[in-house]
Amino acid sequence: MAQFQRISRSKCFDGFQEIYSFFSKELQCTTRFSIYIPPKVNRENPAPVLYWLSGLTCTEENFIIKSGFQRYAAELDLVVVGPDTSPRGCNIDGEDKDYDFGTGAGFYVDATTEKYRDHYRMYSYVVRELPTVIEENFPVIPGLRSISGHSMGGHGALICSMKNPGLYKSVSAFAPISNPMVSPWGQKCFKGYLGENNQEEWKHWDATELISQYNGPDLHLMIDQGSEDEYMDHLFPENFVEACRKYSIPLDYNYRDGYNHSYYFVGTFIGQHLKMHSEVLKSSK
Amino acid sequence: MAQFQRISRSKCFDGFQEIYSFFSKELQCTTRFSIYIPPKVNRENPAPVLYWLSGLTCTEENFIIKSGFQRYAAELDLVVVGPDTSPRGCNIDGEDKDYDFGTGAGFYVDATTEKYRDHYRMYSYVVRELPTVIEENFPVIPGLRSISGHSMGGHGALICSMKNPGLYKSVSAFAPISNPMVSPWGQKCFKGYLGENNQEEWKHWDATELISQYNGPDLHLMIDQGSEDEYMDHLFPENFVEACRKYSIPLDYNYRDGYNHSYYFVGTFIGQHLKMHSEVLKSSK
């Protein structure tokens, strides 16, 4: 742990909510992540891990402050890790200009455009580098991991699991950007990170496109979507639901009457998501 | 409700978390408050109210975003109301200079100094004006109220209940500023709002002083204090605990090993506080 710096540590539901920073090789910058260690989890009693991916504008802090997940993670003996949503401070011209591109909007892809390809590698960071760091340094069971996220992070969770059959034992999402190729948010980021005239490449990072190719074990896939979501025209959950139906992919889809896009929605149902992940992870031991 | 403006409304644990603004006569400015209406509460089925007072730098939003209280309020059928922590935008010279005086730091007193007395009347606002507004406009049972708060807001909850025997059916606090006359935070605000050489007046706004005079029904008083609180030298819980012992005031005091001053601490124990308040309120019907 010599290369780590602990930023904060707070007792919460008898466990500890911590934030660390370290230099990421994939992102080529110093980055932060949050980790919650439940009370009964330690070196002698390691636990499975849920990775949580946050949405546009978030850091590693929003979810740990706003969702109240710690109560459930403490009950379920589930370690929960949350990366930042992009590299930061990379001195790329224009990086800090918009809320929905660049800083705070890494979109969980590996960029190929000249400006962004050296730093904006959130996909490889989330799928490979961060789990290695976590498994080497914290009391977790290697290989026993699931993934979830909100909005842009819901998109990230979906593509990370579908692009790596079996790597995550279960996947869930709150109001995910389900078909970014047709979403204004998705198109803006795909243009900037993957190139404007590169739609074939875009398909490799779009959940609704990927699901038609999926050929692996049961994803254990759960999605919650609020009916009053104010960003519905960026999300296209109906396209993903239809693709799952068409390709016979099991999906537990919960359309929640009256809920919007906020963390009030996430906080209401996060307990049900953690319970699902915990059950799948325990049965995968 | 003509004078009200609804700022936001989000479904949360099947109820609604809302924020309103209106012009306060006590504060002589527009102010906001939050209100959570549980799912089963409506005009035909009104509920008791818990008033929540927040700490330094907070607005009406911190508690509703960070504590996760809605889950418990929904289960217990408890309306929860949270005022802002000071007047805002009153154009008083120096009002926005410090984090611990002026804006965001009303200290729940009625100011007497010339600069502040026209606006900084958070005590009268919290004890009289806001409850009247709530009882006239929302599905609550008139007169059935309790109060709680964090840090500066814990101080506020304690003094509001002790200065008005029987007005609140129960009172609780997280890491309250328990003896502001000897606390740097308390002294700074008391000097600015009540006058530098006015220590006799200060005593009327200090929980540890007030408890020695208390002569009313059981306060149903609960305090939680973390052992690792980084602001302990502003709080002086031991002075208040000793005063309660000396004057035989029943106090449920929970000293929580390893917890700090943050909302991770509040979130961990808020469920137990709401349960206590709900039980006392239900038995007071």
Percent of chain B with pLDDT over 90: 97
- For residue B1, what pLDDT is reported? 47
- Residues of B with Cβ-Cβ distance to A13 under 8 angstroms: 267-268
Percent of chain A with pLDDT over 90: 97
- For residue A195, what pLDDT is reported? 96
**Strand positions, DSSP E, chain B:** 5-12, 15-24, 29-37, 47-53, 79-83, 140-150, 171-174, 221-226, 252-256
B268 near A CB under 8 A: yes
In this model, does residue A204 exceed pLDDT 90?
yes
> Quick one: pLDDT band at residue B3, thresholds 50, 70, 90?
confident
- Residues of A with Cβ-Cβ distance to B13 under 8 angstroms: 267-268
- For residue B151, what pLDDT is reported? 98
Which DSSP string do the residues of A250-272 spell out, in sequence order?
Answer: --EEEEETT--SSHHHHHHHHHH
In this model, does residue A1 exceed pLDDT 50?
no
Q: Would you call A233 exposed, middle or buried from its count of C-beta atoms within 10 A (0-12, 13-18, 19+)?
A: exposed
> Quick one: pLDDT band at residue A285, thresholds 50, 70, 90?
confident
Mean pLDDT of A234-263: 98
Mean of the per-residue pLDDT values of chain A: 97
Q: How far apart are CA B257 and CA B238, in angstroms?
A: 15
| Closest by CA position to B121, among listed B205, B187, B225 | B205
ipTM, two decimals: 0.94
In order of their start, the domains of chain A are: 5-283 (3.40.50.1820)
Contact A268 B65 (CB under 8 A): no
List phi, psi (to 5°) of A179.
-145, 65
Residues 6+ apart with CB under 8 A from B279: none
Taking only the tens place, the pLDDT of each residue in A55-68 is: 999 999 999 999 99
Question: Of these residues, A150, A261, A273, A277, which one is catalytic?
Answer: A261
> Is B229 marked active-site?
yes
- Residues of B with Cβ-Cβ distance to A265 under 8 angstroms: 10-12
Q: How far apart are CA B177 and CA B94, in angstroms?
A: 24
Of B10, B66, B260, the CB nearest to A262: B10
Of A14, A66, A258, the CB nearest to B11: A258
Q: How far apart are CA B2 and CA A285, in angstroms?
A: 59
Q: Would you call A285 exposed, middle or buried from its count of C-beta atoms within 10 A (0-12, 13-18, 19+)?
A: exposed
Mean pLDDT of A48-59: 98
> Is A21 marked active-site?
no
Mean pLDDT of B221-234: 98
Residue A8 bridge partners (DSSP): A19
Taking only the tens place, the pLDDT of each residue in A100-154 is: 999 999 999 999 999 999 999 999 999 999 999 999 999 999 999 999 999 999 9
* Encoded tokens for A36: 């919650």
A39 near B CB under 8 A: no
Taking only the tens place, the pLDDT of each residue in B81-99 is: 999 999 999 999 999 999 9
Contact A68 B65 (CB under 8 A): no
- CB of B100 closer than 8 Å to CB of B94: no
- For residue B230, what pLDDT is reported? 97
Among chain A residues, the shortest Cα distance to B63 is held by A66
Percent of chain A with pLDDT over 70: 99
Contact A259 B226 (CB under 8 A): no
- Residues of A with Cβ-Cβ distance to B65 under 8 angstroms: 65-66, 263
Mean pLDDT of B177-205: 96
> Is A229 marked active-site?
yes
- Residues of A with Cβ-Cβ distance to B66 under 8 angstroms: 65-66
Which DSSP string do the residues of chain A spell out, in sequence order?
Answer: -TT-EEEEEEEETTEEEEEEEEEETTTTEEEEEEEEE-TT-BTTB-EEEEEEE--TT--SSHHHHHS-THHHHHHHT-EEEEE-SS------TTTTT-TTSBTTB-TT-B--STTTTTT-BHHHIIIIIHHHHHHHHSSEEEEEEEEEEETHHHHHHHHHHHTSTTTSS-EEEES----GGGSHHHHHHHHHHH-TT-HHHHGGG-HHHHHTT--SS---EEEEEETT-TTHHHH-HHHHHHHHHHTT---EEEEETT--SSHHHHHHHHHHHHHHHHHHHHHT-
B205 near A CB under 8 A: no
Q: Which of residues 148-187 of A touch B (CB under 8 A)?
A: none
